[in-house]
Copies of this chain bind each other. A is one copy, B any other.
Amino acid sequence: MSSNKHTHLHVKYHAALDLNHISTEPAPHDMAQASEWAHALKKQGEHLDALQGLLHAGKNKAVLLVLQGMDTSGKDGVIRSVFTHVSPLGVRAEAFGAPSEEEKRHDFLWRIHQKVPALGEIAIFNRSHYEDVLVTRVRGWIDKETWTQRFQHIRNFEAMLHDAGVTVLKCYLHISKSEQKKRLQARMDDPSKQWKLQASDFEDRKLWADYMAAYQDAMSATSTPLAPWYVIPADHKPYRDLVLAELLVQTLEGMALATPEPQFDLSTVKLR
């Protein structure tokens, strides 16, 4: 697949976004290649592993991958599928659940900032600071003034990370409401997966339209050139994994990573 092939999935900064009109399925052309997805993912995984090695060696740049999506959209699954191809050395996954009492006594970026990648690292955020303009909004805990203010604070925060050498990539895993129904039903029917279900999953499902509105606003307001959002069709798991891997490889390739120079003149070394 050619580079920049996923530009149609890119969210335009400050442009209206309508998730109802973006497919949760692969385009027909991609669907026709479904038999090759698994092999293509393996190849992307090898690229990713090599690029992560360079990032780790150079220690002057970093990557922050933000994953958001409705329940069952596959945030855990995509992390497992894509990063099993990569050495855990220098890759760190962080999950952000409901904030603790101590976290609630600080600004919404406090717990997030602590977990950003160090130079040389890839950090993956399974949920993120965006929860504070999504669930908080949909549940009516904050007003429009607050979430608008937070959009600005998020843009500023991500620009600051960029200036410190952190490349930010944000992916929304886009599933349909009917696909979620199937996945929730499958969890309800499988005793080994019932533990994954929370009461809030069902409440959130009832608020689907509100969540879509909140996601649209948040992504449109924060998909800056320095920290773009991509909407990943996520009804097909192997396709979802492949697209995410390709976007990540593309992002790392754009960072012009190079093998560091030797730290001293190797011609002076005599191995005995």
Contact of A107 with B153 at beta-carbon distance under 8 Å, contacts A102-B118, A114-B113, A114-B114 already known? no
> What copy number does this chain have within its complex?
2
What 1/0 flags go to A119-163 for Cβ under 8 Å of B? 110000000000000000000000000000100010011011101
Least Cβ–Cβ distance between A1 and chain B, in angstroms: 33
- Judge whether A38 is part of the interface by a CB distance below 8 angstroms: no
- A245-270 Cβ-contact flags toward B at 8 Å (1 or 0): 00000000000000000000000000
State whether A156 and B160 are in contact (beta carbons under 8 Å apart), knowing that A59-B105, A107-B116 are contacts in the complex.
yes
List which A55-90 residues lie within 8 A (CB) of chain B. 59
- Nearest chain B CB to A243's CB is how many angstroms away? 29
Do the beta carbons of A164 and B120 come within 8 Å of each other? no
Chain A residues in the interface with B (C-beta under 8 A):
59, 102, 105-110, 113-114, 116, 118-120, 149, 153, 156-157, 159-161, 163-164, 166
CB distance from A162 to the nearest CB of B (A): 10
Complexed CA–CA distance, A110 and B114 (Å) = 7
Whole-angstrom distance between the Cβ of A84 and the nearest chain B Cβ = 26
Closest to A102 in B: B118
Neighbour of A120 across the interface among B105, B149, B163, CB < 8 A: B105
Residue of B nearest to A110 (CB): B113
Whose C-beta in chain B lies nearest to the C-beta of A161?
B107
User: Known contacts A102-B118, A113-B114, A118-B102; is A107 also within 8 Å of B164 by CB?
Assistant: yes
Q: In the complex, what residues of B have CB within 8 A of residue A107's CB?
A: 116, 160-161, 163-164, 166
A26 to chain B, nearest CB (A): 37
Closest residue of chain B to A112 (Cβ to Cβ) is B113
CB closest residue in chain B, given A156: B156
Instruction: Give the CA-CA distance A99 to B93 in the complex, in Å.
Output: 25
Q: Give Cα A164 to B129, complex, Å.
A: 14
